[in-house]
């Protein structure tokens, strides 16, 4: 029996996903993943009326069913794009979001012109921010991750994409562990973090976040600011004069975060908005 064409399979999948409330190129991206090719090649296959091989079709059908059940696309394919790289993701690690690229931009602006700046990335997760800063700024990065599950993913991504980065499996508030890898008081050009910042009672409405992102990467106390509250004095101790602290946070938390950084002795605290116009990243200078 003739296998269905790639175009037919993708169009049917697109209809199913749309009925589940999922719009966009997910059907094409899943087809590319199933076939082991790129999005451009799949679109050529669709235009040429080519058939979907049986093994790829079976993989595609399974992937579409998972996506229809609102499993994140990145968890199905095992890859999450972030800036110029694809990061490996899976159970136990927070999937990096496009808005976190702003956090990288803020640090890049500050360290531009600095030779081999020393940066501490707290709660590195997949290693996304650490890898971007190592590759784009030539930074010496120390990435810290406390979660055993997330540490596994960070170790894999860093080994593949930024092997010079130091990865520490520890609590970033363990100053002895930081000192052991060269992070001393006043030594950092920047401390950066995309910490958990969801208030404990604010369960995300989005099923893809609620069901698949690890809770340790989401929640941080009653107001969502417990870890940032601890990071402010830690940064004040570790960041050199003229150095930067930058943290990601929720839209409604910007004023509180600026206040914490100012109380810790930082100056020029300011908040940047993401591409949707929401307050997203606050930074300040030591």
pLDDT in the model for residue 201: 83
The arithmetic mean of pLDDT across residues 24-44, rounded, is 94
Burial class (CB in 10 A: 0-12, 13-18, 19+), 158: buried
Query: Can you tell me which residue has the tokens 């206040």?
Result: 259
Residue 244 sits at φ, ψ, to 5 deg, of -120, 145
The arithmetic mean of pLDDT across residues 39-57, rounded, is 92
HSE-up of residue 16 (Cα within 13 Å, Cβ side): 20
Position 117 pLDDT exceeds 70: yes
Residue 127 region by backbone torsions, left for phi larger than 0, else alpha for psi between -120 and 50, else beta: left
pLDDT in the model for residue 282: 98
The arithmetic mean of pLDDT across residues 99-116, rounded, is 96
Q: What is the mean pLDDT of the chain?
A: 94
Minimum mean pLDDT among 53-57, 83-87, 97-101, 199-203: which range? 199-203
The arithmetic mean of pLDDT across residues 169-194, rounded, is 95
3-state secondary structure of 195: coil
Note the pTM of the prediction, 2 decimals. 0.91
The arithmetic mean of pLDDT across residues 257-282, rounded, is 96
What lies within 8 Å, CB to CB, of 115 at 6+ separation is 138
The arithmetic mean of pLDDT across residues 148-162, rounded, is 98
**Does an H or E element contain 151, and which?**
helix 148-161
In this prediction, residue 89 has a pLDDT band, given cuts at 50, 70 and 90, of very high
pLDDT in the model for residue 210: 81
Q: What is the DSSP string of 59-95?
A: HHHHHHHHHHTT--HHHHHSEEEETTEEEE--TTSPP
User: For residue 265, what are the β-bridge partners?
Assistant: none
Position 164 pLDDT exceeds 90: yes
Burial 13-47 (b: 16+ CB within 10 A, else e): bbeebeeeebeeebbbbbbbbbbeeeeeebbebbe
**Does an H or E element contain 122, and which?**
strand 118-122
The arithmetic mean of pLDDT across residues 42-67, rounded, is 93
Position 1 pLDDT exceeds 70: no
Give pLDDT tens digits for 207-255: 788 878 888 898 899 999 999 999 999 999 999 999 999 999 999 999 9
In this prediction, residue 202 has a pLDDT band, given cuts at 50, 70 and 90, of confident
Q: What percent of the chain has pLDDT over 70?
A: 99
- Distance in angstroms (rounded) separating the CA atoms of residues 155 and 166: 10
- Distance in angstroms (rounded) separating the CA atoms of residues 130 and 139: 9
pLDDT in the model for residue 2: 65
Position 40 pLDDT exceeds 60: yes
- Distance in angstroms (rounded) separating the CA atoms of residues 73 and 38: 15
What secondary structure letter does DSSP report for 215? G
pLDDT in the model for residue 4: 84
The arithmetic mean of pLDDT across residues 189-211, rounded, is 87
- Bridge-based pairing of strands 85-88 and 79-82 is antiparallel
pLDDT in the model for residue 3: 73
In this prediction, residue 150 has a pLDDT band, given cuts at 50, 70 and 90, of very high
């Amino acid at each position: 029996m003739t296998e269905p064409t790639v175009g037919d399979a993708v169009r049917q999948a697109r209809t199913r996903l749309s009925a589940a409330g999922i719009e966009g190129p997910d059907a094409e991206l899943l087809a590319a993943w199933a076939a082991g090719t790129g999005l451009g090649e799949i679109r050529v296959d669709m235009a040429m009326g080519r058939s979907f091989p049986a093994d790829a079709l079976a993989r595609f059908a399974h992937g579409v069913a998972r996506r229809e059940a609102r499993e994140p696309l990145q968890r199905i394919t095992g890859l999450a794009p972030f800036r110029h790289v694809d990061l490996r993701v899976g159970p136990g690690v927070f999937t990096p979001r496009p808005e976190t690229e702003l956090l990288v931009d803020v640090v890049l602006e500050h360290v531009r012109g600095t030779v081999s700046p020393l940066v501490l990335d707290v709660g590195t997760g997949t290693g996304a921010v650490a890898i971007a800063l190592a590759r784009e700024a030539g930074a010496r990065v120390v990435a810290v991750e406390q979660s055993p599950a997330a540490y596994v993913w960070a170790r894999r991504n860093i080994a593949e994409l930024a092997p010079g980065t130091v990865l520490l499996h520890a609590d970033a508030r363990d100053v002895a562990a930081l000192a052991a890898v060269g992070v001393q008081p006043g030594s950092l050009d920047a401390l950066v973090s995309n910490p958990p910042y969801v208030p404990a009672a604010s369960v995300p409405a989005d099923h893809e976040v609620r069901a698949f992102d690890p809770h340790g990467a989401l929640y941080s106390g009653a107001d969502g600011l417990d870890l940032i509250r601890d990071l402010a004095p830690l940064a004040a101790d570790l960041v050199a004069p003229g150095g930067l602290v930058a943290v990601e946070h929720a839209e409604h938390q910007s004023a509180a975060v600026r206040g914490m950084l100012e109380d810790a002795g930082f100056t020029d605290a300011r908040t940047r908005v993401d591409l949707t116009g929401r307050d997203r990243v606050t930074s300040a200078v030591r």
